[in-house]
Amino acid sequence: MSYDPTTKTDLGVCMSNCDHSIEEGAAATLLAAGTDSYMTYPGRDFLGYVWSDGLVLHCSVWQWGREVGTITADTLRGIMHDVSDEYGYE
């Protein structure tokens, strides 16, 4: 599933692997915004663009300027867990 963030609205950072924090209310914001907006999820070895189709959350994972995969989960904690398992916890 390809996601082009250059055509979407950036709503800020939703979570970070630096301290494994998730912004309060970020999931509700993403679910309400739909596919026209995203929030970023930075890690040391990746940048995630988190967005929603109105039902579930998706994270388009980018490394070194290219999309390398997409993770889907019901919660931001689930996104963080699955992305970290595959692309690193830092």
pLDDT tens digits along 6-22: 999 999 999 988 888 99
Please, what sign has the CA dihedral across residues 78, 83, 85, 89? Answer: negative
Side chain identity, residue 8: K
* Residue pLDDT, tens place only, 28-43: 999 999 889 999 999 9
Query: Residue ranges of the domains in the chain?
Result: 5-87
